[in-house]
Structure 1
Amino acid sequence: MLAKNLKQVDIRKVDLESLSKFLVDNGEKAFKAKQVMEWLWKKSATSFDQMTNLSLSTRELLAQHYVINPVSVDNTQISNDGTIKSAFRLYDSHLVEGVLIPTTSRMTACISSQVGCSLTCKFCATGYMDRKRNLDPGEIYDQVVQIKKQSEENFNQPLTNIVYMGMGEPLLNYKNVLESVELITSPKGLGMSPKRITVSTAGIAKMIKKLADDQVKFNLALSLHAANDIKRNQIMPINEQNSLEALRDALKYYYAATKNTVTYEYIVFNNFNDNLSDAEELYQFTRHLPCKVNIIEYNPISEADFTNTGEDKLDKFSNYLSKKGVNVRVRRSRGKDIDAACGQLANKNK
């Protein structure tokens, strides 16, 4: 919903102290600010009318000066495998996409952190879009709330995991992403465990070090896709400013500070990065610290000419790593038929 009054402030961007002062200045009790915050972040209220333990006059006062800009579900698509992709409409009419990925053991929300993306990875549909803006913490939080609701309504299961692997580069929206994690994990918010959250990055060395300095509790995944600078430069231009050596040093720094195991994501492209020599390079890159490697099927997009590697080469690649002692898992794609799989999010269903 668009704000009707340009002087209205988005209440979800106001801290407790400021809201408390506003209420006191307007003849209200300071403790009501905590009640409002509980409605916003624990109960996920999207209107002041829902705040039923506040008097009508208090709700009217809030509505005169503040607005809530909730994310709404513009439309949804359901895959043959049960995956649900949603186009989320933001208050300024932009769209982002999020995905509920159901399996027998977990319900995972894949959420976006930016409208579009600036990194231009050659295999990713979002990379062919312009970056319009960063999402604010409330907009990231809202995606989780909506997907959590879908999990409960469609599968009668609670949401178990969250991955920041949708549209955008999370570490280029650092402050808002960390604030959203706080809203999702805080007992005053959704109360989820940070160990159930994974933030994925294309690889920005200085921001990985900042994660270490900030002692984050969530999991970190690096979208690697090539352990050779020449190849990685071809598909991920970000590598030109963040070489594999710089990333390796940043990840060592991160692990030393947090003791969090790093996950490497590696999409296998046919005749590009799927030979045993590529597997050896991947092993050499990953052996420096405790880690997991997810080998991911490529999901074709119309903008790129890449194709997925064959099953035989995929098996040889993963077996090579396993024999080297690497904790490796092959991730099968979900939601390909509705463009909801890894690398396919591009608002095509709007």
Structure 2
Amino acid sequence: MNEDSTKTDLKNLTQEQLVQYVESLGQPAFRGRQILAWIYRPGITDFTQMTDLAKEFRAILAKNAFMSRFQEAMIERSRDGAVKFAFRLADGLIIEAVMIPEEDRNTLCVSSQVGCAMGCTFCLTGTMGFRRNLRTAEIVNQVCAVRDWAIEHGQPPLTNIVFMGMGEPLANFDNLLDAISLLTEQRGLDFSNRRITVSTCGLVPQMRELGDRTDVNLAVSLHAANDAVRTSLMPINKRYPLTELIEACRTYRQKRRKRIMFEYTLLEGVNDTDADALQLAELLRAVPCKINLLAVNPAGDAAFRSPSSARILQFQKILRDQGYTVFIRTSRGEDISAACGQLAGQGWHPQKVTTNTAIPS
């Protein structure tokens, strides 16, 4: 079913915008906050369920607005417990999100764009090219849909949200900020800022603005410690080279004791030598940070290979000896193309993916 372009999707509106919207309908401001408290409750799909609103006002809402949702998803489960969800959007495009259950948390990796324009050479999403930005509702509906699926299947609740799915989050900045507002609003999805992480390949101006306007965690996809290698892997480095990127990280506005997470994908023979580790240690010296090491995952025709376990451990040891907190992130969902760098909205049989679109209430 297609979206009704004559109606307003309330899930595209932050609390402030929702207040303004109900005022445009002749209602007092508190009605907007009242509606928001209903929209993100599990199982709320119709205005008739909002029992503390006057019947006449519910009729006005039904005439002028709707609450979009993803009704169904194509789902694949990995041997390691990761679950990949594919959602078909109103225009037929497909996005993917991945739930990663762990002992102490349940993390959802969400998408912010259909495709990606950044062109990182080790990432399958980049081979799609850029199709479009996701609207605010399409971002938060990934969280709503997976939350509802977890409830229905007796799974632990979602605890963490990471913007590490399809797309560059900071290239969809306004919708990202609105989605974060709804994710952290108590009347909305009520996640803590410290439980939300935004990853970027290094859009420096947007990084600065993110720090000024939110308190969420920042992860920076680094993947090389010198400009020559990083530019060969990540074209964005031509626009914002390492000197500029690291200075933006050094001056990034964040709460005390918070540290930037640097993501470093290890590629055999490209960025995994002892010299690379020492260069990385020197590069990050002035930035309060943690480092995540990740062996590259297979991504289409890319020729990159993962270093040996011994090489990865040696790389970690060098950084730890230099005083850094360094984690080796275990890849999850590789057998269902759900691991880091593998999301591409491909391989789904079109007859098996139910249309997931905005359904007017």
Task: Give your verdict on TM over 0.5.
Answer: yes
- State the 1:209 CA deviation: 1.6
Match of 2:225 in 1: 227
C-alpha separation in 2, matches of 1:330 and 1:200: 17
Equivalent residues of 1:212, 1:257 under 8 A apart: no
Which one of 232, 238, 245 corresponds to residue 247 of structure 1?
245
Deviation digits for residues 173-221 of structure 1 (CA, Å, limit 9, x no counterpart): 111111111111111111111001110000111111212332x211100
Match of 1:291 in 2: 289
C-alpha separation in 2, matches of 1:256 and 1:40: 31
The structure whose RCO (Cα within 8 Å, separation 6+) is larger is: 2
**Bigger Cα displacement from structure 2, 69-78 vs 126-135:** 69-78
Equivalent residues of 1:212, 1:258 under 8 A apart: no
Match of 2:352 in 1: none
C-alpha separation in 2, matches of 1:172 and 1:72: 27
SS in 2 for 1:121: coil
Equivalent residues of 1:263, 1:293 under 8 A apart: yes
Match of 2:169 in 1: 170
- State the 1:43 CA deviation: 5.2
Code of the aligned partner of 1:231: V
- State the 1:241 CA deviation: 0.4
Code of the aligned partner of 1:108: T
Which one of 310, 318, 327 corresponds to residue 320 of structure 1?
318
Code of the aligned partner of 2:23: K
Match of 1:19 in 2: 21
- State the 1:29 CA deviation: 6.8
SS in 2 for 1:132: strand
- State the 1:96 CA deviation: 0.8
Equivalent residues of 1:72, 1:89 under 8 A apart: no
- State the 1:2 CA deviation: 1.9
Code of the aligned partner of 1:296: L
Are 1:76 and 2:75 counterparts?
yes
Alpha-carbon spacing, 1:309–1:243, altered in 2? closer, same or farther (3 Å): same
Deviation digits for residues 64-113 of structure 1 (CA, Å, limit 9, x no counterpart): 22233323433010001111000022233221100000111211000011
Match of 2:342 in 1: 344
TM-score normalised by the chain length of structure 1:
0.92
Code of the aligned partner of 1:145: C
Equivalent residues of 2:96, 2:343 under 8 A apart: yes
Match of 2:97 in 1: 98
- State the 1:53 CA deviation: 3.7
- State the 1:282 CA deviation: 1.0
- State the 1:56 CA deviation: 4.8
Alpha-carbon spacing, 1:67–1:92, altered in 2? closer, same or farther (3 Å): farther
- Structure 1 unmatched runs, 5+: none
C-alpha RMSD of the superposition:
2.1
Structure 2 counterparts to residues 1-350 of structure 1, below 5 A? 1-4=1-4, 6-14=5-13, 15-24=17-26, 31-42=30-41, 45-154=44-153, 156-214=155-213, 216-255=214-253, 260-350=258-348
SS in 2 for 1:168: coil
- State the 1:39 CA deviation: 1.7
Code of the aligned partner of 2:170: L
Equivalent residues of 1:71, 1:91 under 8 A apart: no
Equivalent residues of 2:19, 2:31 under 8 A apart: no
C-alpha separation in 1, matches of 2:254 and 2:42: 37
Equivalent residues of 1:116, 1:130 under 8 A apart: yes
Equivalent residues of 1:89, 1:96 under 8 A apart: yes
Alpha-carbon spacing, 1:221–1:54, altered in 2? closer, same or farther (3 Å): same
- Structure 2 unmatched runs, 5+: 349-361
Code of the aligned partner of 1:18: Q
Alpha-carbon spacing, 1:222–1:67, altered in 2? closer, same or farther (3 Å): same
C-alpha separation in 2, matches of 1:213 and 1:349: 40
Equivalent residues of 1:212, 1:255 under 8 A apart: yes
Code of the aligned partner of 2:111: S
Alpha-carbon spacing, 1:258–1:210, altered in 2? closer, same or farther (3 Å): farther
% same residue: 39
Count of aligned residue pairs for this structure pair: 345
